[in-house]
Every structure is written in C-alpha cells, then in structure tokens.
Structure 1
Amino acid sequence: MDYQPAPRLAQSALALHDPVTAADFPQTILRYRNQRAAQSVGLEHLSDADWIAHFGRFQPLPDNQPIPLALRYHGHQFRQYNPDLGDGRGFLFAQLLDNQDRLLDLGTKGSGKTPYSRGGDGRLTLKGGVREVLATAMLEALGVPTSKSFSLIETGEPLVRGDEPSPTRSSVLVRLSHSHIRFGTFERLAYRNEVETLRDLVAFVLANYYPDCNDTATLFNSVVTLAAQLTARWMAAGFVHGVLNTDNMNITGESFDYGPYRFLPYYDPNFTAAYFDHTGLYAYGRQPDAVLWNLGQLGRCLTLLIEPEPLITSFNAFNVRYEQELGLAICRRLNIRPKPDNAPLVATLYAFLATLRSDGSFEGLFYDWFGGCMSETRALSGPRAKSYAGAAFTAFHNLLKTYDAAAPEKLDHPRFRQADPETLLIDEIEAIWAQIALEDDWSLFDAKLAATETYRQALAW
C-alpha cells in the first residue's frame, strides 16, 4: 500500500502534548525492523539508511509531524494516583493510516528526556528492547491485540540500572500502535477539571477511533467491550502483563508497553510478573479485576460530561462480557467452533490445567488439542501424553468431544508435525539475552522470531 501520513493529533487543538527533541545517540545500529508491519503502512521500501534516519535519528517522515510530541497523562499506579506522569522516555513520532484505513501511531521508547522524565535518563536498555520485540511477536502469534514492535536500534550508550548488571547496553524502540491515548489521558483532564478539553478529547476519539459510536456513553460501552476481549485473550494466552496501571491501558483495546511481563510456564492464578508486585495485585488470575478497576477510573472521568447511569450499566456488564469473551478465546485457541455457552468447557479446562505443574504445560495443552479431538492421536502420542489421564482430564475431554473443529485444514501446516509448541518462557528470554550480552550473537534472537512467525502462520488467526 501507499504511505498515508495522518498527523491528526498534532493538527488538532487538543493540548495533550509538548514538543520535544530526540536524544542524539552516539551510535545507531539497526537490530530489528518489522518488514511486515512496515508493509502495512507503506514504509517497507525504506533503505536501512533511511530507516535509521527516521527511527534512530528521528528525522520527520514526509508530510508528517515536524517535531516529536511527548504526551501528557496521569494515572493510578498500583491503585495510587500519580499526577507526575507523562511520556518520560518516549514520544509520538508520527501518525499514519494502515491498509485498513485505521489511524496508527509510531511511538518511541528510550528516545531521550522529556519534561516528564522525573529525573530519569529517558533511555531504554537493549535487553528491555529485545524483551518487547519478543513479547509483541508472541502475543500476535497467540491472537492477542497488541502493539507491534516496529524498530529496534542499539544506541551505544552505557546505562546504569539498579535491577540488572550495569553498565548495560542501550537502545531505542519504535512501536506501531492503534493509539497511545490512555485511560490516564482522561484522568489528567478530570484531575485538572479541564472539562471542555475532556469533551474535545472524547470528540477526537469518536471521530478517529470509534466512528460507529455517537456519544460518550456508547464510546465507554465500546471501550468496556474491547477491554473484556483483550483481557480474555491475555488469559487464554497465559500472559501476565505485570503492570496494569491506568496509564498502561489505551482506549482502543490494545495491549502495549511490556516491562516485567511473563508467559505462564503452567497454570497458576497467583503467578506475578513484576518482582515489585509484593501483594500480587496484578497476578495472572487477578487481571480481570485489575482491568475492571481501571475501567471504573475511566468511567468516573466521563461523569464530568454525562450522567453516570449509562456508564454504570456498561461497567456492570464487563464481567458477563469477559466470561463470554473468555469462552470465545479458549475456543479460538483450541480451533473449535464455539457454542452459545462455553463456560462448562472453560471451567473443566482450567480445572485440568490446575493439575499440571511442568513447564510448558499451559501452552502445551492448547497445542496438543488444537482442532479439538481431531488431534487426539497426536496429543496421546506426544511428549505430554502421560498428563492426559485422570478425572480432571476426563471431564475436559468429554466436553471437548462435543465440539467440532473450526478450521481442520490448519492441522495440515507442517508446524503441527513438531512435538512441542512455541513458547516464550523466562529461561528462553534469558538465554537469548545472554548470547547477545556475552558474545554479541543475535542468532538465537533471530531464530526465535522466525520460529514465532512460523507459529503465527500455523495458528493463522
């Protein structure tokens, strides 16, 4: 497709950002470019030199934003309100349309200091960039709505961090995302009682992201629905975001900004991703509650514009919508046709998963039984065959027998001839990083991305 610049936020009258200057890095070594994502926005023909000029030196894209914009927002962090947030190490670099005419952002992470850096250096470790590239690739493969890691460039600065060996290498990441307008964007305006700007923000969101909605109430209702879908797909993917603060949720129902994430090695509702989450607030099993709480904060902001009753109705509908979406997400992951009520299948699946404690067993179940009972021979002759026994498995298996495969032809993909699924467990990430850190060897990183892309094609969402 053709490149279609659309710098709509910069051209609007909304006071939601500050102009900033990108850091001048000592080096710009291209480590990753997402050619498939670039093709979706008409930038696949850039040479590596031009790519580095735009996404390492941040020379403006043609007819796009002339200067980067650090976005203003507040947020609840572990449910404590923080008015001292905003883009502290990133900015909005450009906006453009994709091949579906959706407005997308090119936003950065690690691009230098801004007015919101709060004493930080505005940088991103290379390890952090590597982790985010891997996360977005795997989440996309597993059918989770996610930002895309667009570019990763090593920047040649030694960074000191308190939670990993230092000095460590640095990078700048560019992500392609449907929106960087956060729940915290609304919270800032409500906190400052900027009601007219809040009203203008809702109008901007309706015009650019929700053209089928016509007012604040229907907008919130749609955000609740997309949040329920996103949460369900996290859960079906065994994904733990780690830091579900209100500034880490956007209004288009897309997952983004991956710090201390993890994928479950095996089912554990109390599994946490962040070492600093001492109370388990954002544990795997508490993610639906966390998202609902965050929706409550967004809804409170919107009561400055309309009466609360329709907002409360949509808020109260979240749990029902989440349960419905979880059933659909589980069926999608198993490649079976959903029924009007999938709750019994979901309950028996999780009850069986709770009996498994071997690494890889969470993803292994979905891989082995992809296509439902069409895969029974494959599952019962594979490396996890001994797990498929006992009362909990029988309950799940009996229900699974009542479902038809949704797309049986997917099982013809050569990927399903392999014994094990593709996973992204913490030991794999650490091994990839160790090879980069110790030997500057990127072969494991490249191989993991290639294998994840094959997995995405096999699952074929």
Structure 2
Amino acid sequence: MPLIQNYRELPEDFYTQVWPEPLANARLYALNQDLMTQHHIHLAETDIYQLCRGELPATLQPLAQKYTGHQFGYYNPDLGDGRGLLLGQWLTPNGQAFDWHLKGAGRTPYSRRGDGRAVLRSVIREYLASEALHALAVPTTRALAIVSGPETVWREGPEMRAMLLRVTGSHIRFGHFEWAADQGVDQLKTLADFVITHHYPELLNQADPYAALLKEVMQRTARLIAHWQSLGFNHGVMNTDNMSILGETFDFGPYAFMDDFKIGYICNYSDTGGRYAYNEQPNVGLWNCQVLAQAFQSLIPNENQRNALLDEYIESFNSHYLYLMRLKLGLQNPHPKDKHLIADLLICLDKHRVDFHVFMRSLAQLDTPHECWPQSQDYQAWLKNYQQRLELETLNTNERSQLIRNHNPARVLRNYIAQHIIELAEKGDDQVIDQWRKWLSTPFEDDDSVWTKVPKPTEKGQRLSCSS
C-alpha cells in the first residue's frame, strides 16, 4: 500500500498506534472519482473499499493523534482521535502529501466513554458538505469514500454504522499546539518545526519562522471564516480541536447553509447559548486564534508581537469579507460606503426572513422583480442605493449579471436536501450519494429544478445536534 507515515517523525507521546475495528459485511456507498483523478490515485476500487472498512494491510502504521482543546470555551485536556485513525499520507506525482484518515474506525485510548463509531447519516453529511465547499472554492478537508454495513450504532436511536475515508493536507489542529504547549517548550518547538517543514516550507528562511507560522495560520483562518460568512454557512462547533492549522473547514457536525437569512442563526440545537451562531463565527475565530497565540507564548514571548498578529486577523477578515460580498453584489471596484450597503442589506434580509441564496442570485436580473424580494420601504430604499452604486461601476448589465451568477450558487446543500439523500441511502440506495456529489460539483450552473427554489416552510431551518 503506497502510503507513508511522516507523523511518526514526531515523538511517540504525540500519538498511539491503533488498529481499526473493521466493519463486517460493509458496502461501498460512495467513491469520489473526481478526487481520485485529481490526486492521481490509481488503486483498485476493492483496495479503497478494504481500507475504508478498516481491513488494513500489515505494512500500514495507523495511529490516533493526541491533542487537547477548548470545547464551548472550556479547556478539555483529555481529547485526541477518539474515533478516527491516521492511516498515512498519499504522495501525488508532484510530491504533495495528503493525509488519509479513517473516521469511525472504533475505540482508541482517547475515546473516553465513546464507542469510536460513526453513523451513515453523519458521514454522508461530511462527504457532501466537504465536496460542496470545495466546489465553492472554500478551503476544506475532502472525502474519498464511504462504507456502511448492518452493524447497529446508538445515537438518538439505532443507526447504521459507517466509515469515512477523509483526505486533507494535515489533521493537525489548534488543539495539537495547546497540548504541546502544556508539555513544554521542547515539545512545542518540535511540533512547530514539523508543521513548518511539512506544511509551510516557504517559512523556513524567515527571520522569525514561528511568528510567520502563527501569522499565516491566523490569516488563513480569517479568510476561511470570511468565506463562510459570505455563503451563509454556519459550522456549528468551532471548538479549537476543530480548527485546522491549514485554515480549512474541518470536522463537519451540525453545519448548515442557512435558508432564510438570520443574523443570529444557530444550526446546532445543542448550542443553547449561541456561542457558535452564524454572527458569532468571526469573533470565535479570533478567540480561537487568541488561544493559539497563547500556546505560542514560549516561542513568541513578546506579547505585543502576538497582539499585533491578532490585529492582522481582524484586518484580514474584514478586507476579505468585503471583497467577497462585493463580488456577490456584482461590484468590482471598492467604494468607502460598500460596508454600509452590505450591512443595510443583511439587516433587511434578517428583518423580513428572506431566503439568502435565492435572493442574492436573483440580483443578476435586477430589471425583473423576484417574488422573494421584500415588499417594504426599507428594501426599496436599499435597492435605490444599490442601483446608484452600480452606476459607479464600469461593467455592463450582462457582465454584472454574470459576475453575480459566478459568486452566488444556485445549487446549495441545504439541510433538507441532505436529509433527503440520507433517507434514500439508509434504504439501500448506494448511487444517490455520488449522484448528488456530482450535482454539487457545479454550484453556479443555472438550474430550474425544485432543489434550487425557496424551500417550503416545513423544509427550512432544520437544526441538528453534535451527534450529526
């Protein structure tokens, strides 16, 4: 099996070798042919199937990583890979390494009281969401395959056990640095050097590579969350152990692409305090970066230097968010009043509970009033200001319309769509997942199907728990 295991370059207390608990009588429910092509994966389907169900060749060295993290604001020292195993890295022809990680592989020393399993419902949601975000140019982990079988796993009720083969450049999280900092400066330096060598080699020649690393991780995180906000995407559980040092969307749980725009939208019904609400995501990203900066304290002892890097997170988020929102409105050239134009629109959409995705794409046909447009004075006032703002642009009507279509998806993985797919798969349809993956791979394509329309009231605003 052509997988290396570079994570073993780290000291042994960073991980524990664990073999998965195979899934008997499993079926292959999804195989990401696009990812196989892009990463030049030439393994036979049967080989990927065996890996994904946990039947590994003896040449592999699967391991569970140790880390800690803040969960809902509280530090938890007992975290680690509790249901996933790092199988190794796949090398592409250009030498780029991608982790292959088996999720739902069974118990590890870090499972605490968990069973180490995953269920079909949750792995379908991760598989599809990661591919949907990838197609929207949002940094994200991806998934190669899903298997499921008749073994029963109990969550809110009995569900089918499943396993997911996840792919990304690195599974190192903010929480890894929290754990390493607790172990002492030597372990922290060892981890930082490993991350720079394998993931940020361009920083090796920097005068202060540790400060450069912290800055890069923070700015990638800021741009990631700006992208989420522009797409109405709510992650739901932004614990520091769910934050990637590559600035990718990581660990999908009760996420949602919102339906009606709601500034304080909460997709996770376990989040009773709204810590991870949609409008809180930028601030939580900053809070998580503060935790990461604190972990770097012994490598960057100057507090003013660390605070300056945190200020750059704020600047990076604001500038990237304004850039993305301008494109969604068909605006190319910055104007000082754009942030007010954007804020006034979001306040209006929130007040009138307007479908975010359908409304934004409808602006491509500004001369044709859409049924989702609010019939209100505040919207008419905004529309007048927007039309005046368009007069400052050099794009003609067709160019502006195309710009809007290119940045506002028609095909969105709403929660009711994901649930529809899950129900078909649970009934035994092993084609439906990849059929919808292909649909989501072209999100900006014009589509007149029922799936791109404003959902029915009973289909809107579905929320999930962390068990998803």
TM-score normalised per structure 2: 0.85
Matched, 1:421 2:410: yes
CA distance in 2, matches of 1:420, 1:203: 39
> Residue 176 and residue 401 in structure 1: after superposition, are their counterparts in 2 closer, same or farther (change >3 A)?
farther
- Residue equivalent to 1:33: 31
> Residue 408 and residue 54 in structure 1: after superposition, are their counterparts in 2 closer, same or farther (change >3 A)?
farther
- Residue equivalent to 1:316: 311
Matched, 1:327 2:322: yes
Judge conservation of contact 2:103–2:165 (CA < 8 Å) in 1: yes
Q: CA deviation at 1:347?
A: 2.4
> Residue 114 and residue 407 in structure 1: after superposition, are their counterparts in 2 closer, same or farther (change >3 A)?
farther
> Residue 103 and residue 444 in structure 1: after superposition, are their counterparts in 2 closer, same or farther (change >3 A)?
closer
Q: CA deviation at 1:401?
A: 4.4
What amino acid maps onto 1:393 in structure 2? Answer: L
- Residue equivalent to 2:350: 354
What amino acid maps onto 2:412 in structure 1? Answer: T
Judge conservation of contact 1:4–1:41 (CA < 8 Å) in 2: no
- Residue equivalent to 1:292: 286
> Residue 201 and residue 73 in structure 1: after superposition, are their counterparts in 2 closer, same or farther (change >3 A)?
same
Q: CA deviation at 1:151?
A: 1.1
- Residue equivalent to 1:431: 420
Q: CA deviation at 1:14?
A: 6.3
> Residue 266 and residue 42 in structure 1: after superposition, are their counterparts in 2 closer, same or farther (change >3 A)?
same
> Residue 354 and residue 9 in structure 1: after superposition, are their counterparts in 2 closer, same or farther (change >3 A)?
same
- Residue equivalent to 1:402: 392
What amino acid maps onto 1:29 in structure 2? Answer: R
User: What whole-Å deviation, never above 9, does each CA across 1:116-156 have from its counterpart, x for those lacking one?
Assistant: 01121110010011111121122223331111121111133
User: What whole-Å deviation, never above 9, does each CA across 1:335-354 have from its counterpart, x for those lacking one?
Assistant: 64252755344324423432
Matched, 1:246 2:240: yes
Matched, 1:53 2:42: no
Q: CA deviation at 1:16?
A: 1.6
- Residue equivalent to 1:154: 148
Q: 1:272-287 counterparts in 2 under 5 A?
A: 272-287=266-281
User: What whole-Å deviation, never above 9, does each CA across 1:158-207 have from its counterpart, x for those lacking one?
Assistant: 1111x3xx211110011111211111001112223x21011011111111
- Residue equivalent to 1:10: 8
Judge conservation of contact 2:358–2:410 (CA < 8 Å) in 1: yes
CA distance in 1, matches of 2:421, 2:40: 31
Matched, 1:259 2:259: no
Matched, 1:440 2:428: yes
Unaligned runs of 5+ in 2: 448-468
Q: Count the aligned residue pairs.
A: 438
Of residues 135-144 and 252-261 in structure 1, the stretch that sits farther from structure 2 once superposed is 135-144
Determine which structure has greater relative contact order: mean sequence separation of CA pairs < 8 Å that are 6+ residues apart, divided by chain length.
2
CA distance in 1, matches of 2:81, 2:388: 51
What amino acid maps onto 1:57 in structure 2? Answer: G
Q: 1:32-431 counterparts in 2 under 5 A?
A: 32-43=30-41, 45-60=42-57, 66-98=60-92, 101-161=95-155, 163=156, 166-192=157-183, 194-213=184-203, 214=206, 215-307=209-301, 308-334=303-329, 336-339=331-334, 342-358=338-354, 361-369=355-363, 375-377=365-367, 380=368, 382-384=370-372, 390-403=380-393, 421-431=410-420
Could you tell me the percent identity over the aligned residues?
30
TM-score normalised per structure 1: 0.86
> Residue 187 and residue 149 in structure 1: after superposition, are their counterparts in 2 closer, same or farther (change >3 A)?
same
Judge conservation of contact 1:60–1:66 (CA < 8 Å) in 2: yes
CA distance in 1, matches of 2:38, 2:57: 19
Judge conservation of contact 2:28–2:430 (CA < 8 Å) in 1: no
What amino acid maps onto 1:219 in structure 2? Answer: L
What amino acid maps onto 2:381 in structure 1? Answer: A
User: What whole-Å deviation, never above 9, does each CA across 1:316-374 have from its counterpart, x for those lacking one?
Assistant: 2222221101012223445642527553443244234324414xx2111332235xxxx
CA distance in 2, matches of 1:286, 1:100: 39
CA distance in 1, matches of 2:23, 2:179: 32
Q: CA deviation at 1:243?
A: 0.4
Judge conservation of contact 2:29–2:431 (CA < 8 Å) in 1: no
